[in-house]
Structure 1
Amino acid sequence: MAELLLTNAHVYGDGAWQTGVDAIAIRDGVIVGLGSSAELAGLVPAAEVVDLDGGWVLPGFQDAHVHPVQAGLEMNACNLADGQNLDDYVDTVAAYALAHPEPGWIVGGGWSMDAFPGGVPTAEVLDRIVPDRPVFLPNRDHHSAWVNTAALELAGITAGTPDPTDGRIERNDRGEPTGALHEGAMELVRRHVPRPSDDDIARALQTAQAHLHSLGITGWQDALVGEGLGMPDVLDAYLAAQRAGTLTAAVVGALWWDRERGDDQIADLIERRERAAAAGFDASTVKIMQDGVCETFTAAVVEPYLDRHGQPTDNHGLSFIEAADLARYVQLLDAADFQVHIHALGDRAVADSLDAIEHAVSVNGRRGNRHHLAHVQIVRPEDVPRFAELDVTANAQPLWACLDDQMADLTLPFLSAAAREQQYVFRSLADAGTRVAFGSDWPVSSADPLLGMHVAVNRVAAGSDAEPLLAGQNLTVVEAIEAYTRGSAFVSRRDESTGILAVGMAADLAVLDADIVSIDSHEIGAVRVTRTYAAGRPVHTL
């Protein structure tokens, strides 16, 4: 007996819509029947029948790299993520300050670098809106922060304050701080910002989960579970939600690697993994952040960044962990059967990370821990085949693979000619046999998988008239769907229970309002999710 029968649907399978299948029967969160409505109505009478109005049913999307709690905290605070330009940000901060007149910090974030001249905001703008309260607003990628003078003064940041080894204070020609802090320099102010309460974190998780479900996402890998980059440790929030039954998504938590501690933290990570497992939560992944981002010249690159006149500098970006240390850490984590999830954006970071995994394999053998590199913005041609050779998944954020203002104005002009030709090489990786998983890095960018797929297929953002970014590096629609379903399910070690629509698999479903496989590829970004089911439970209805 099925509990739920979904009828009048098109059902996806093996790269196409299945012939003769217009209904799905579900019981105990699992698909127990696929076939025609007439067949299933007779064979598995259901307690509830739902007409999907001809909707197009895909496996639920899974985000392989996302920061939901951070996104939820920003959505519940001074949220700049919906703004498009400086005027939008000014209006949002002003409205938030007016609505929250109580003393104390204004926090939130989500601004985009391309909204500011040279990609750099200034305290002067914030001072005009909020002169008497400290403001701390990280940008979308959380590698920079916008602060006002009150925040700089409270933190004691002056012209005499040195840059930390892992960051940079933006300064004027007199050496005075101007209101932008990059990478480790953010900590100079962030350490003074009040920490969110447990209730704040729990509410942020529910806010984010509802948003992700609305986009057809039924599972994800949280790419930062621990205290890092100013994030509070969210493990207890996940465990509490798991116990309470309010965590309706299937989640893997990637435990944060503290680059200041070294390998003595592995015992603590094992204890956290075991404590999570006792609550039914998977925390058997460790996240290592190896470099920064190109826009702040902190991604680790082989050839140096160029200056504003196109001339080479002596800046090769930042490797937060020395290559030899990274290799040792990855080998030890692999031996402890952790999956390692490495932020590797520049080509030097990618090469060092692949070297580290190769070292782990040479010492430990192949243990099947499904290591993956996140972001992989620049990959040298000689490193492309190494992904498949080492069974390393490319965990990519497809929405970034386009010629938007940030890429055109703040990235490409400062990269070497070789690096410019190796941006988000999805086609090369796929042709080399690399397994590709897709994620969003939300709140860095939109969590909408359909917008990500639009770029993966077209190499142009939805609604943009820009030229494609390296058009030959595009994927097919089917490949993009697979990356958001099977690929991400593999990375999260859930491929035996989800990622495809088949009898015996979890009833994780995303129902679309259009035939994403057959429509003009430039219309993919306009497709919408009308319903989402997580383990057979309706978690979103448009």
Structure 2
Amino acid sequence: MTALRPADLVLRGGAVHTVDPARPRAQAVAVRGGRIVAVGTDADVGEHMGPRTRVVELRGRTLLPGFQDAHVHAVTAGLDRLRCDLRGGADDAETYLARVGEYAAAHPERRWIVGGGWAMGAFPGGTPDRGLLDAVVPDRPVCLDNRDGHGVWVNSRALELAGIDRHTPDPVDGRIERDADGQPQGTLHEGATALIERHIPQPTAEEWLASARLGQAELHRLGITAWQETSGYETDLGAYRTLAERGELTARVVVAQRWQRDAGLEQLDAFAARRDRSRIGRLRADRLKILLDGVLENFTGAMLEPYLDANGSPTTNRGLLFLEPVLLREVVRRADGLGFHVHVHAIGDRAVREALDAFEAASASNPARDRRHTIAHIQVIHPADLARFAALGVVANGQPYWAVSERQMDVLTIPFLGPERTGWQYPFGSLLRAGARLAFGSDWAVSTPNPLEEIEVAVRRVSPDDRHAAAFLPHERITLRAAVEAFTLGAAYVNGLDEETGTITAGKLADLAVLDRDLFAPGTLPDDARVLLTLVEGAPVFEDPALEG
């Protein structure tokens, strides 16, 4: 009998949740040469131990496939940490203004005060006023993205430098909030933000690189080993390419290059060229991101029926489609023909339907192939479209942390949807019952990057910050196993990484995460757990000292 080559690493004595239906549970795992070589009992895996094998005693703690994020903005989230970051404290005007004032005082060298992270629910109507910022920074322009990235809050100096006044028309793809006399109020939505942003000094290449490093480190800390980067600008891809060329890209990153509304179909050839020269190490760039609509809170999410007004009566506003249906279908058809997997941002039920129609048309027009098209956010889905995800093989890409009752939902969304459409929001349970493939992502920095927080919301439909609140649409809750699968195998599938990752299976790459407890033990709430060890190909990319404690 030939002796087994010793493993480099053995993790034993744990609650191993493999996400592999052939063997859902195990006790131990052996790793050699970056791959899983054995999954089984401690005795099974013990045969692979040698004198130089590192042994991690799990002591009943959970071992999972490394989490994957199906929709994240890791580079810009890292950049936020280098700027005036309003996240991580109380969500109210007083706290935000104090932070802005402190940041401005600490950075007198900055010509612009730039940052973001404010919540729309902190302000009446979700639209903060320029006068609030004028009071703390009167002499320099200020531009702060809101948390979802679909609007900015600016001061009077920024409006002045950008030449925006009562005579400035709204762009076709956005809106300038105005006072009663027509003057810009201080909030700009969607495409109107470009009127300001074109005047802001751009980050340097080194700042982009530092941002990518920060984003990667934070995601590894949370057990995440791979993600789909959905900002997708050339700056983001360039930062990842540099990390990959230098051997610093420890994560598997799939970049969804972003469709530019101010360019034409010819940009697809440029995307293809970038894709072909970006296959470096763990980096790929074979996805195409299309931002199809806005968000419900500012009434730019594309709806089949009009929004309601404050009195519950229908308006004439159905939101915005940033690509008309004929163009959308042609873009998707051509991108599909070039081998791209298309990733569509769709919030409203009309945007979801138009995306499904475009995918259906592309599949009918182009030769059969392995397609991993996906629709992200899926806040409102008309019930007639639920079964189409499975029928068309389109991945439902959800961000579960939003599926709770909170100010932005209760004050800025539900009154303007009405009861029926409110009940169609974030229908994860209905999608699974209809046979859809579900993948989860965080949309960080829009919300938390922590998969365990996101998983808890998917399972309970209650915010981890208010666990005694009533569940939001409790019939759409999903099981813990389904939520974990969506953040592992489901995300791996939409990222095109499922053949090598996403389950703990012999032969696959050893991308793994160790938690500090058994996640599936009775009474455990996911957000109470934390990650102690993150492995990529068996090598630690994050390790908490408590692992061996």
Corresponding position of 1:217: 224
Alignment of 1:353-392 (within 5 A): 353-392=355-394
Aligned-partner SS, 2:532? strand
The reply on whether 1:12 has 2:17 as its aligned counterpart is yes
Q: Is the 8 A contact 2:30 2:48 kept in 1?
A: no
**In structure 2, what is the Cα distance between the partners aligned to 1:13 and 1:274?**
33
- Residue 71 of structure 2: which of 62, 65, 74 is its match? 65
Unaligned runs of 5+ in 2: 1-5, 545-549
Corresponding position of 1:43: 48
Aligned-partner SS, 1:263? coil
1:273-322 residue CA offsets vs partner (Å, 9 max, x unmatched): 11112666211110011100001100000110111111111110000000
Aligned-partner SS, 2:504? coil
Q: Is the 8 A contact 1:509 1:533 kept in 2?
A: yes
Q: Offset of 1:128 from its aligned partner?
A: 1.3
Alignment of 1:270-419 (within 5 A): 270-277=272-279, 281-419=283-421
**In structure 2, what is the Cα distance between the partners aligned to 1:18 and 1:371?**
29
- Residue 24 of structure 1: which of 12, 23, 29 is its match? 29
Write the letter of the residue equivalent to 1:447: P
* Change in 2 beyond 3 A, CA 1:385/1:20: closer
Q: Offset of 1:102 from its aligned partner?
A: 1.4
Q: Offset of 1:76 from its aligned partner?
A: 1.5
Q: Offset of 1:22 from its aligned partner?
A: 3.0
Aligned-partner SS, 1:242? helix
Aligned-partner SS, 2:506? coil
Q: Is the 8 A contact 2:174 2:191 kept in 1?
A: yes
Q: Offset of 1:9 from its aligned partner?
A: 2.2
**In structure 1, what is the Cα distance between the partners aligned to 2:11 and 2:285?**
33
**In structure 2, what is the Cα distance between the partners aligned to 1:189 and 1:248?**
35
Question: Percent of counterpart pairs with the same letter?
Answer: 46
Write the letter of the residue equivalent to 1:404: E
Q: Offset of 1:366 from its aligned partner?
A: 3.1
Corresponding position of 2:87: 81
Q: Is the 8 A contact 2:7 2:48 kept in 1?
A: no
Aligned-partner SS, 2:227? strand
- Residue 484 of structure 2: which of 481, 502, 506 is its match? 481
Aligned-partner SS, 2:322? coil
The reply on whether 1:246 has 2:253 as its aligned counterpart is no
1:71-118 residue CA offsets vs partner (Å, 9 max, x unmatched): 000012111111322222122112211211214111111111111122
Corresponding position of 1:230: none
Aligned-partner SS, 1:276? coil
Q: Is the 8 A contact 2:17 2:25 kept in 1?
A: no
Write the letter of the residue equivalent to 2:295: V
Q: Is the 8 A contact 1:396 1:437 kept in 2?
A: yes
**In structure 2, what is the Cα distance between the partners aligned to 1:97 and 1:300?**
37
Please identify, of 367-376 and 278-287, the stretch whose mean Cα deviation from structure 2 is larger: 278-287
Q: Is the 8 A contact 2:14 2:27 kept in 1?
A: yes
Corresponding position of 1:514: 517
What's the C-alpha RMSD, in Å, of the aligned pairs?
1.7
**In structure 2, what is the Cα distance between the partners aligned to 1:182 and 1:20?**
48
Q: Is the 8 A contact 2:307 2:314 kept in 1?
A: yes
**In structure 1, what is the Cα distance between the partners aligned to 2:208 and 2:522?**
40
**In structure 1, what is the Cα distance between the partners aligned to 2:209 and 2:202?**
13
Corresponding position of 1:491: 494
**In structure 2, what is the Cα distance between the partners aligned to 1:442 and 1:396?**
13
- Residue 115 of structure 1: which of 90, 109, 122 is its match? 122
Write the letter of the residue equivalent to 1:60: G
Please identify, of 41-50 and 372-381, the stretch whose mean Cα deviation from structure 2 is larger: 41-50
**In structure 2, what is the Cα distance between the partners aligned to 1:474 and 1:47?**
42
Corresponding position of 1:236: 238
Corresponding position of 2:265: 263
**In structure 2, what is the Cα distance between the partners aligned to 1:83 and 1:142?**
18
1:184-218 residue CA offsets vs partner (Å, 9 max, x unmatched): 11111100100000100110011111111111111
Q: Give the TM-score normalised by the residue count of structure 2.
A: 0.94
Q: Give the TM-score normalised by the residue count of structure 1.
A: 0.96
* Change in 2 beyond 3 A, CA 1:278/1:515: closer
Write the letter of the residue equivalent to 2:531: V
Write the letter of the residue equivalent to 2:529: V
**In structure 1, what is the Cα distance between the partners aligned to 2:33 and 2:249?**
16
* Change in 2 beyond 3 A, CA 1:49/1:15: closer
Please identify, of 74-83 and 197-206, the stretch whose mean Cα deviation from structure 2 is larger: 74-83
Write the letter of the residue equivalent to 2:516: D
* Change in 2 beyond 3 A, CA 1:103/1:336: closer
Aligned-partner SS, 1:221? strand
**In structure 1, what is the Cα distance between the partners aligned to 2:503 and 2:282?**
23
Write the letter of the residue equivalent to 2:69: D
Q: Offset of 1:403 from its aligned partner?
A: 1.0
Write the letter of the residue equivalent to 1:5: V
**In structure 2, what is the Cα distance between the partners aligned to 1:435 and 1:11?**
23
Aligned-partner SS, 1:164? coil
Corresponding position of 1:472: 475
Corresponding position of 1:197: 204
Q: Is the 8 A contact 1:60 1:218 kept in 2?
A: yes
Write the letter of the residue equivalent to 2:81: M
* Change in 2 beyond 3 A, CA 1:19/1:357: closer
